[in-house]
Amino acid sequence: MTPALCLRMITDLAPQLESGEISARELTDACLERIARRNPDLNAFIAVDEDGARAVASRTDDEIAAGRYRGPLHGIPISVKDLIDVKGLPTTAASKIRPKTPAARDAPIVANLRAAGAIVLGKCNLHEFAFGTTGEDSAFGPTRNPHDTSRSPGGSSGGSAVAVATGMSYGSVGTDTGGSIRIPSAACGTVGLKPGFGELPCDGVIPLSRSLDHVGPLARSVVDAWLLYQAMGGQEPRIPPETNPRGALRLGVPRRYFLDHIDPNVRGRFNDALGLLSDAGVTTTDVDVPHASEIASVYLHIVLPEAMTYHSRTLDSRPEEYTPGVRLRLEMGRYVLAEDYLRAQRGREVLRREITAAMTNCAALVLPTLAIPPPPFGIESIAVGGLNDSVRSVTLRLTQAFNLTGHPAISVPCGNTPDDLPCGLQLVGHINQTIELLTVARRVETTIRPV
């Protein structure tokens, strides 16, 4: 069965746009119709620029008809997390703290996407100031998971993942400081890429933790994410050639710590995926990160003070305008001592070297993205694999390490639980080798799709 127009892949649509078989206006209308129908329940969008998007779509169709086709993103409607500047729209960060003044210019990553021909439909909901993994704390109300609206879509880029998963946009731009692209991608069944640290510019993006912040794409396939990633970095997006699906490929599985506390259904889907990869000739080998048990401590002592410094003035002057959970986490940052921040920076370097060493003989690491299925709203803690921990700690457990170390990482869909909740498979690449990671992820995606 052919999927609805708004649910198709960018790679599928691009040739039809180029040939004039379909129009950018049709795609834009399909997404806007889907937003009108689904957003009241899911709350994925904070702002929708209907008139602006339709006007750009009409101009796009004229350009293509005149022979000025720019490439596979030309005429593709996308969305942008409302932490990132889009000219003419306020950047709310899902907070009452932010001024309602429209951004004077696009963030460079958005400008690059527009230059490649993408059409910005609007701004997506998020956990306030990106400081949370559930999407519950937003001045605009929570974003809801389309697979079960009583559950979190993950966060903080939850609105972006919901938009992509439900056909409200073909791709989205998110940010990831501890897993905020990969976690909602896993929770909603999309692909989410966190490139290597510093690869894509964070100018025009409200910071959470400047030494951990990354920007990246969410999409419905690895190649769609690849195209968005290329364009965000100012490169000409090109559909990459197929690689040998039977060539030698070795993946490392970091079992200790990372697989110690995993929901049984998530573990089942992960093991299914490893089985399919093995059947397809992929070799897996166990690897170890000796100081993995210190990842959370290191992360906490960096993210808290870095986040607090950006918010210290408004925490003093307007504390009641933050959502309570975000305010409390920001306040914690006041109490981290400089000596402990420096210990954490040393630990970060240890972890970077250990993860690099663990990958020495592997193309990538493979592990689940999220240790649990998307959690229900309203719970503070959750038991998983014999460990009772806060929802925040459990959701960050498998992703935050790679923000500390700067390795590129991607989440791809990995089947559903018996309750039909999505699971994600995470692949982690070598530093400065995001393209190589995407190549691996494309092959893995193709291999495990039947899961």
Partner 1 sequence: MHIDAWAQAVIKDAQLRGLSELAPLLGGLVRATQTLRQADWNESAERTDRQDATAAKDPK
List interacting residues with partner 1 (CB under 8 A): 290-291, 293-294, 296-298, 300-301, 304, 324, 328-329, 331-332, 335-337, 339-340, 343-344, 346-347, 349-350, 353-354, 356-357, 360, 390
Least separation in angstroms between residue 343's CB and partner 1 is 5
Least separation in angstroms between residue 439's CB and partner 1 is 22
What is the C-alpha to C-alpha distance for residues 87 and 173, in angstroms, rounded to an integer? Answer: 15
Q: Is there a contact between 152 and 187 (Cβ–Cβ < 8 Å)?
A: yes
Least separation in angstroms between residue 195's CB and partner 1 is 23
**Catalytic positions:** 81, 156, 180
Residues forming beta bridges with residue 174, ordered by sequence position: 216
Q: Which lies closer to partner 1 via its Cβ, residue 106 or residue 354?
A: 354
| CA distances from residue 196 to 147, 211, 229, 351 in whole angstroms, order as listed | 30, 12, 11, 15
Least separation in angstroms between residue 45's CB and partner 1 is 31
Nearest alpha carbon to residue 213 among 183, 264, 178, 238: 178
Show Cβ contacts of residue 294 under 8 Å, excluding neighbours closer than 6 positions. Answer: 347, 351
Give residue for tokens 């990132």: 84
Nearest alpha carbon to residue 197 among 338, 401, 354: 401
Q: Which lies closer to partner 1 via its Cβ, residue 167 or residue 305?
A: 305
Q: Which lies closer to partner 1 via its Cβ, residue 63 or residue 294?
A: 294
Least separation in angstroms between residue 119's CB and partner 1 is 42
Peptide linkage before 172 cis (omega within 30 of 0): no
Q: Is there a contact between 243 and 223 (Cβ–Cβ < 8 Å)?
A: no
Give one DSSP letter per residue of 352-405, joined into a string: HHHHHHHTTT-SEEEEES-SSSPPBTT-SEEEETTEEEEHHHHHHTTTTHHHHH
Q: Which lies closer to partner 1 via its Cβ, residue 110 or residue 358?
A: 358
Q: Which lies closer to partner 1 via its Cβ, residue 238 or residue 334?
A: 334
